[in-house]
Structure 1
């Protein structure tokens, strides 16, 4: 596509552009692969009608923060949960971002691996902290400072926090206080689900259901937060239910920031 065509398309309204897309993809012999990144609930409901089902083997691949969108997209949809990176994968990514093709200096190996581990498998955290480390010119003392206060370094990156805060902004109102409450727990803590549910109920966060008790409604809230990728399962019960859970350090930092800003809660660090 030429730059002229791009300029012309950018001037079209959404409906006209959608119709042009639909017509360009129609045809028995036409086979297409569409890749969409970070799809939200309302976006997919608006877009899907512009992709014809022409039975020619075409495919649509998209990433989303909402597991339910994948299941609702099509009865033939295959949903794959993206896993967190391993410690080794975090370290490899960190090295590439900081040193490119140059080997990591021996004196920074141990502290570098420690920083990679503290990213807890989140690629976004690795990329953000790599930019911080790259600016420190292999200063071991400064790298050690980052290792001690990694979350605070990342939370200072506005682009990173804006990406994370989007997930919070799109939460239904009844889930927002439940999520912010995770900031009250210490960093790297496995939280027993029964304890969490009891606290939510006692704080008045849970709407009583007509056919469900408060504990059942609370558990549904937790499953929703897990499905949105904001909360992680630590341990499961023998019946498959969630026994303990946790939030990533960056998300906890975000909870604390938003909670204080909105006068929801302030945690005094000892």
Structure 2
């Protein structure tokens, strides 16, 4: 299915419900098979959209990306959730080169320091893309790139588009998870945090809600699991039974925690 620019202009005049009903009608019918691709879907968005896609048993499929694993599981009882992995160091380096140099080869003198920068992105595509934009706008010399490598998180955190994306992920957190996430800023960068220690501190700070038939440790672990499923907290080590033993956050997210915490007078971290 495709449409002309005039058809798109005509459709833009309709309100959301009318447009949704027109979409539903166009997809109905046993002979119609469709593939819908939606990017960056949030929980409340999908709850409003799903009624406009008929389940016509014709083999149609809907593919969407989301920050929230829970959204995928809630989409349908037939959902198949594919959790994207982090990039390898080689993949980070290939992506960095592509974004900085396009089809031109990276100068030999920049290869080693470039690979170091790519490794320091810790497999996070967003970090690679943001830092590549910084490198693309500066002189291609080893001294400048070494400066970037030494202060990677600060270069990334100054990028407005990156901050907007990260702020959005924070703003969509439920209220009970916001202080728990910001508290990660109290720990040093690149530190694996003991889950037992983290939970004890959350409870002591009064961040954990009291729920009937659940103790504070179970509630806290549920909070942590939710933050992990949203991609904001990374698993360090697991216990033999599979439970999370340690966790940490990406340097970029650590910088965001400090910035938001300071802006909201949540806490002030004094660095030596």
Fold conserved between structures, TM > 0.5: yes
Q: Which residue of 2 aligns with 1:68?
A: 70
Q: Which residue of 1 aligns with 2:215?
A: 213
Q: Which residue of 2 aligns with 1:142?
A: 144
Paired residue for 1:103, among 85, 102, 105?
105
What CA distance in whole angstroms lies between the structure 1 residues aligned with 2:165 and 2:21?
Answer: 31
- 1:177 alignment partner, SS class: helix
Q: Does 1:54 find its partner at 2:56? A: yes
What CA distance in whole angstroms lies between the structure 2 residues aligned with 1:72 and 1:101?
Answer: 41
Q: CA deviation at 1:228?
A: 1.2
- 1:68 alignment partner, SS class: helix
- 2:36 alignment partner, SS class: strand
Q: Show the 5 A alignment for 1:63-142.
A: 63-142=65-144
Paired residue for 2:21, among 19, 22, 29?
19
Q: Which residue of 1 aligns with 2:170?
A: 168
Q: CA deviation at 1:137?
A: 2.5
What CA distance in whole angstroms lies between the structure 1 residues aligned with 2:123 and 2:13?
Answer: 41
- 1:39 alignment partner, SS class: coil
**Matched pairs, number:** 270
Structure 2 unaligned residues grouped into runs of 5+: none
Paired residue for 1:261, among 263, 266, 269?
263
How much is the aligned-residue C-alpha RMSD, in angstroms? 0.8
Q: Which residue of 2 aligns with 1:229?
A: 231
Question: Following TM superposition, where does structure 1 have runs of at least 4 consecutive aligned residues deviating by more than 4 angstroms?
Answer: none
- 1:60 alignment partner, SS class: strand
What CA distance in whole angstroms lies between the structure 2 residues aligned with 1:171 and 1:102?
Answer: 41
Q: CA deviation at 1:131?
A: 1.1
Structure 1 unaligned residues grouped into runs of 5+: none
- 2:25 alignment partner, SS class: helix
CA offsets 1:163-186 (integer angstroms, 9 cap, x no match): 111111011111100000001111
Q: Which residue of 2 aligns with 1:35?
A: 37
